[in-house]
Amino acid sequence: MPSRPAAGSSPALDSPAVGEVEPKDQQLMVALRIRPLSDLELEDGATVVAHKAGDQVVVLMDPGEDPEDPLRTHRSQEKTFIFDTVFDQQASQEDVYRATTQHLVEGVVSGYNATVFAYGPSGAGKTHTMLGTDAEPGIYLQTLTHLLRAIEETRDSADCSVSTSYLEIYNEAIRDLLNPSSGFLDLREDARGSIQIAGITEVSTSNAQEIMQLLTKGNRQHTQEPTAANQTSSRSHAVLQVTVRQRSRATNLAGAVRLGRLFMVDLAGSERASQTQNRGMRMKEGAHINRSLLALGNCINALREKGGSRAQYVNFRDSKLTRLLKDALGGNSRTVMIAHVSPASTHFEESRSTLLYAYRAKNIKTRVKRNLLKVSYHITQYTDVISDLRREIERLQCKVEKQEAQGRSEPGVQDAPGTAEHTPGASCPAWHRVRAERPARGPGTAPAPSPVGPPGVTGPAPALALTADLQRLLTLDLHRVLCPSNFPHIHHAAHALSCPRGLCDETAPIKGGGTS
């Protein structure tokens, strides 16, 4: 499963397009799932207050209502809500997938964007719906299995590739779950407002077994901690992104490429400190979760008003979560929201708040359009990156030569064995790190200064090793740019364009899709 960083190399959605169809307004689909009562709720004597009253209707009863009160109709908090579909405790994982997500798969293969996100309070069953178990797989695995099957049916007529990335938003910091050592990542917005995640790892996937390995690997890194409300409470928002690239074999290199993206989001649940009994770090995590969900709710309210007669400004910048879901809520995406509630009377307020937000989200409209990209656009992108990297390498080489010249001009300083002279323009620079032997130290001996330069040279050495590391990283980036396994035709064209005219007539080799 070759992986590659997506920063700077993944196609932008606003690239020049060919034969692009007119955007269409689509209503955001909202589904509701009511989970069964938990053992703890049954022990506490909770009663059921959320009832499915039809395929699209749910009734939330007021737990404090006295049925013999003659004035209850005037002050009752009982509410009836209508959604696109409602699932009760008898609904299976497959029922939920077929009704909410299955119809999105064909669109993603055809070049459309889609988003599915689970919303609701902590412990309402969001992770069960999205991830599921080995016996009852959730939306993640069912969607990807269906997606790969649909792509397999197009193999005879098109070249397709599927890549997956998995991240979490923890305390307003983005972390790559497939490569946690990469540190926190940044969100970047291009000139036309499309959000990109700089440095995220995308892994090519081709079968269900690889998918399960990816999910298992990512979930081991996903931040979860027990609270009084949920023994496996997610302390972060988890986002699984799937990118599908497809090019018809009947077209030439300049033909259009379809690019479809599917976001599947398991939101952390809103919390009340009095119920979760959180302290310290758990309370800090809960505050960040609630703040990001509040920003999401504000966006839903603003988008609801924007869908009416008033032009309303929508602030997506209050949270990393809302910035990441910008297209899903108000841009180019077919979006499904699956709201989750507990039927217990002890969670009446949380359920009522969730139902109100979900009901408001029904009025949100998005404008979807197929993403058809020109391959020639990306060839130009790659050659520009190659030129930038070469200029940077030349600058570093000049810097090293100056530092070496200064070092040789000092008395008593000689060239270290193992270092090599570099001539500008050489095809393969041969800088080598020289490591000095550490002198043996006996007990009580003062620590000797550790040499950092060549043998025989004390004190600060030229930044040869550091510069060599920078050059190695630049060369690695150049290799990744030139070796996109998903588009070998772009790779060959970019390689030919980057060589001096008339000096390259061979096909550039692809080595592992950019892995190091």
Annotated binding-site residues for ATP read: 120-127
> Position of tokens 């879901």?
325
Per the CB < 8 A criterion, the answer to whether 486 and 3 are in contact is no
Q: Please tell me the distance from the alpha carbon of residue 238 to that of residue 216, in angstroms, as a whole number.
A: 13
SS3 sequence of 87-126: ECCCCCHHHHHHHHCHHHHHHHHCCCCEEEEEECECCCCH
Which helix or strand (DSSP H or E) is residue 367 part of? Answer: strand 365-368
DSSP per-residue codes, 177-203: TT-GGG-EEEEEE-TTS-EEEET-EEE
Per the CB < 8 A criterion, the answer to whether 222 and 177 are in contact is yes
Q: Please tell me the distance from the alpha carbon of residue 212 to that of residue 447, in angstroms, as a whole number.
A: 51
Structure letter (DSSP) for residue 506: S
Q: Please tell me the distance from the alpha carbon of residue 286 to that of residue 203, in angstroms, as a whole number.
A: 31
Q: Please tell me the distance from the alpha carbon of residue 195 to that of residue 58, in angstroms, as a whole number.
A: 36
Per the CB < 8 A criterion, the answer to whether 222 and 168 are in contact is yes
Q: Please tell me the distance from the alpha carbon of residue 296 to that of residue 269, in angstroms, as a whole number.
A: 12
Q: Please tell me the distance from the alpha carbon of residue 198 to that of residue 165, in angstroms, as a whole number.
A: 12
Q: Which of 176, 345, 359, 340 minimizes the C-alpha distance to 270? A: 340
Which helix or strand (DSSP H or E) is residue 26 part of? Answer: strand 24-27
Q: Please tell me the distance from the alpha carbon of residue 259 to that of residue 493, in angstroms, as a whole number.
A: 20
Q: Please tell me the distance from the alpha carbon of residue 279 to that of residue 114, in angstroms, as a whole number.
A: 37
Q: Please tell me the distance from the alpha carbon of residue 119 to that of residue 102, in angstroms, as a whole number.
A: 19
Q: Which of 373, 370, 374 minimizes the C-alpha distance to 23? A: 370
> Position of tokens 């995220």?
200
